Amino acid sequence: MEERFTIMHTAGELADWLGVRLEGDPGVELRGVASPERAGRHDLIYAEAEKHAARAQASAALCVIAPAGLAIAGKTVLRAANPKAVFARAAAALLPAPGIAAGIHGTAIVSPAAQLGHGVAIGPYAVVEEQAYIGAGTQIGAHGFIGSRAWIGEECRLHPRVTVYPGVRLGHRVQVHSGTVLGSDGFGYAFDGERYWKFPQIGLLEIGDDVEIGANATIDRGSLEDTRVKDGAKLDNLVHVGHNVEIGEHTVIAAQSGISGSSRLGRRVVLGGQVGIADRCRLEDGAIAGAQAGIPTGKIVRAGAPVWGTPARPLDKFKEQYAWFARLPELGARVKELERRWRDGER
């Protein structure tokens, strides 16, 4: 992972760190980021296209990130092909994350058999069970729970009321927002003709480095295999991931999506909000599913052809069918009129 500044003084320093070209005064001091309308003189702003130039020009900010060829007079400009992404990187340097906990709070319960790295912070009423490992610099928020034998890497940030079940493994620099539950049992039962028997849920949950998981998300442990969320994946609030699911590197999943057991999502997959994926589906690297898409059991979604609708189908096909669907009342009225005329013997 890239080195992070804890203090940023000038536009020149920031340009060097970001690896972008600077036009104007390299000595401009930068202390934060903001939208053009809310920015002060020492806030950094960005403009992606010509339509944003007037906002940037009128802003009090002295420094702006903009693409080549976008004229913004009187400002120090950092030139970038993707201003929004570079702005996000700059924000990570200019805005150190606020602390979640400081030191080991007196009300926290930490097993003597747990291992804590240098600088670990644990908030009020948090619990860390025996044989849990917490890496250096990690912060555990108030009322957090870290189960026995759980392993949490360095510089992680677990906000208040995060629950990490026994045996769950988190990589480095993982951020988990409030209310999320990691490693609960999957929804697995076997029916013998009279009743349901709980199928073993004894696999692991492994979460890679630089993953971020939103508030009130739930990720199940594996059944007989493991559930894996790989490096750089980003999950929004209220996402549910079932047992034995694998989520590839740098995949992003929007709010209220659900992924059923044993499905596989490749690298850089994109899921819109409220996407539903049934069991044993496979989404290839780079696949895209639009909001509220429903993907039936066992379906393969190929890269290069975004899908939408329920059941999910290629976007162009969905648009064509939806256009006809929207015309059904009109078409229905025409059919009824033709039937009436036929019955009445009209020509």
Coil, strand, or helix at residue 57?
Answer: helix
Coil, strand, or helix at residue 116?
Answer: strand
CA–centroid distance for 236 within its chain: 5
Reported as a single tens digit per residue, the pLDDT across 11-44 is 999 999 999 999 999 999 999 999 999 999 999 9
* Locus of tokens 């944003």: 52
What is the full DSSP assignment across 127-167? EE-TT-EE-TT-EE-TT-EE-TT-EE-TT-EE-TT-EE-TT
Residue spans of the chain under pLDDT 70:
1-8, 346-347
CA–CA distance, 226 with 203 (Å, rounded to integer): 5
HSE-up of 78 (CA within 13 Å, CB side)?
A: 32
pLDDT value, residue 7? 55
Cβ partners under 8 Å of residue 281, min gap 6? 260, 263, 264, 295, 296, 297, 298, 299, 300, 301
Q: Give the residue numbers marked as catalytic.
A: 243
Element holding 32 (H helix, E strand)? strand 32-33
Over its C-alpha atoms, the chain yields an Rg (Å, rounded) of 26
Pairing of strands 246-247, 264-265: parallel
pTM to 2 decimals? 0.88
Reported as a single tens digit per residue, the pLDDT across 128-165 is 999 999 999 999 999 999 999 999 999 999 999 999 99
pLDDT value, residue 2? 42
**Contacts for 38-41: CB closer than 8 Å, 24+ residues apart:** none
pLDDT value, residue 327? 84
Contact 90, 33 (CB under 8 A): yes
